[in-house]
Amino acid sequence: MSADPNCIFCKIVAGQIPAQKVFEDDEVLVFKDIQPWAPVHLLLIPKRHIVSMVDVTPAEQALMGKLMVLAPKLMAEAGVTNGFRQVINTGIDGGQEVFHLHMHAVGGPRPWAKA
Protein backbone atom coordinates (compact mmCIF):
# COMPACT_ATOMS: atom_id res chain seq x y z
CA MET A 1 0.00 0.00 0.00
CA SER A 2 1.39 3.40 -0.94
CA ALA A 3 1.57 6.20 1.61
CA ASP A 4 2.87 9.76 1.75
CA PRO A 5 4.87 10.32 4.97
CA ASN A 6 3.80 13.99 5.00
CA CYS A 7 0.06 13.32 4.53
CA ILE A 8 -2.15 13.74 7.61
CA PHE A 9 -4.61 11.09 6.37
CA CYS A 10 -1.80 8.60 5.74
CA LYS A 11 -0.66 9.25 9.32
CA ILE A 12 -4.20 8.54 10.55
CA VAL A 13 -4.24 5.29 8.56
CA ALA A 14 -0.87 4.35 10.09
CA GLY A 15 -2.16 5.06 13.62
CA GLN A 16 0.29 7.93 14.15
CA ILE A 17 -2.55 10.43 14.62
CA PRO A 18 -5.73 9.46 16.51
CA ALA A 19 -9.16 9.59 14.88
CA GLN A 20 -12.68 8.65 15.90
CA LYS A 21 -13.00 5.63 13.62
CA VAL A 22 -16.43 4.60 12.40
CA PHE A 23 -15.43 1.84 9.94
CA GLU A 24 -12.26 0.14 8.81
CA ASP A 25 -11.31 -2.71 6.51
CA ASP A 26 -8.27 -3.53 4.35
CA GLU A 27 -8.99 -0.77 1.81
CA VAL A 28 -11.00 1.95 3.52
CA LEU A 29 -10.99 3.97 6.73
CA VAL A 30 -13.94 6.10 7.84
CA PHE A 31 -13.68 8.57 10.71
CA LYS A 32 -15.47 11.61 12.11
CA ASP A 33 -14.37 15.01 10.81
CA ILE A 34 -12.74 17.10 13.55
CA GLN A 35 -14.41 20.26 12.17
CA PRO A 36 -17.90 18.99 11.32
CA TRP A 37 -20.26 20.95 9.07
CA ALA A 38 -23.30 19.12 10.45
CA PRO A 39 -24.29 16.81 13.32
CA VAL A 40 -22.94 13.81 11.37
CA HIS A 41 -19.83 14.46 9.26
CA LEU A 42 -17.77 11.46 8.20
CA LEU A 43 -14.65 11.27 6.07
CA LEU A 44 -14.30 8.17 3.92
CA ILE A 45 -10.76 7.62 2.67
CA PRO A 46 -8.89 4.93 0.79
CA LYS A 47 -6.05 3.61 2.89
CA ARG A 48 -3.79 3.79 -0.14
CA HIS A 49 -2.59 7.33 -0.87
CA ILE A 50 -4.38 8.74 -3.90
CA VAL A 51 -3.96 12.50 -4.19
CA SER A 52 -7.32 13.42 -5.74
CA MET A 53 -10.02 12.36 -8.20
CA VAL A 54 -7.67 13.46 -10.99
CA ASP A 55 -5.45 10.52 -10.02
CA VAL A 56 -8.21 7.89 -10.02
CA THR A 57 -7.79 5.28 -12.76
CA PRO A 58 -9.94 2.37 -13.90
CA ALA A 59 -7.97 0.27 -11.38
CA GLU A 60 -9.75 2.17 -8.57
CA GLN A 61 -13.27 1.64 -9.97
CA ALA A 62 -14.23 -0.97 -7.37
CA LEU A 63 -12.73 1.10 -4.55
CA MET A 64 -14.68 4.20 -5.59
CA GLY A 65 -17.86 2.15 -5.85
CA LYS A 66 -17.21 0.82 -2.36
CA LEU A 67 -17.01 4.38 -0.98
CA MET A 68 -20.26 5.33 -2.72
CA VAL A 69 -22.12 2.29 -1.31
CA LEU A 70 -20.59 2.51 2.16
CA ALA A 71 -21.60 6.14 2.80
CA PRO A 72 -25.40 5.56 2.85
CA LYS A 73 -24.98 2.51 5.08
CA LEU A 74 -22.88 4.41 7.63
CA MET A 75 -25.15 7.45 7.57
CA ALA A 76 -28.16 5.22 8.30
CA GLU A 77 -26.24 3.59 11.16
CA ALA A 78 -25.51 7.10 12.51
CA GLY A 79 -29.24 7.86 12.54
CA VAL A 80 -29.35 10.13 9.50
CA THR A 81 -32.80 9.50 8.03
CA ASN A 82 -33.75 12.70 6.21
CA GLY A 83 -30.98 12.87 3.61
CA PHE A 84 -27.31 13.70 3.41
CA ARG A 85 -24.59 14.98 1.09
CA GLN A 86 -21.65 13.10 -0.38
CA VAL A 87 -18.93 15.53 -1.47
CA ILE A 88 -15.50 14.99 -3.01
CA ASN A 89 -13.50 18.20 -3.43
CA THR A 90 -10.86 17.95 -6.16
CA GLY A 91 -7.84 20.21 -6.45
CA ILE A 92 -7.23 23.69 -5.12
CA ASP A 93 -10.00 25.31 -7.17
CA GLY A 94 -12.37 22.51 -6.12
CA GLY A 95 -11.82 23.31 -2.44
CA GLN A 96 -9.60 20.32 -1.60
CA GLU A 97 -7.60 21.07 1.54
CA VAL A 98 -6.05 17.66 2.30
CA PHE A 99 -4.42 16.13 -0.75
CA HIS A 100 -5.44 12.55 -0.06
CA LEU A 101 -8.65 11.54 -1.81
CA HIS A 102 -11.57 11.66 0.60
CA MET A 103 -15.33 11.82 0.54
CA HIS A 104 -17.34 13.87 2.99
CA ALA A 105 -20.66 12.33 4.07
CA VAL A 106 -22.60 15.10 5.80
CA GLY A 107 -26.04 14.74 7.34
CA GLY A 108 -28.47 15.82 9.98
CA PRO A 109 -30.12 19.24 10.18
CA ARG A 110 -28.74 21.40 7.38
CA PRO A 111 -26.66 24.22 8.91
CA TRP A 112 -26.07 25.66 5.43
CA ALA A 113 -29.82 26.11 4.79
CA LYS A 114 -31.14 29.66 5.07
CA ALA A 115 -33.71 30.30 7.78
CA nearest to 54, candidates 21, 19, 94: 94
Q: Are strands 103-107 and 40-46 parallel, antiparallel or unpaired?
A: antiparallel
How far apart (Å, rounded) are the C-alpha atoms in residues 49 and 72? 23
Q: Active-site residue among 41, 49, 102, 104?
A: 102
Note if 102 is an active site residue: yes
For residue 9, with 0-12 CB atoms within 10 Å meaning exposed, 13-18 middle and 19 or more buried, which class applies? buried
**Catalytic residue annotation:** 102
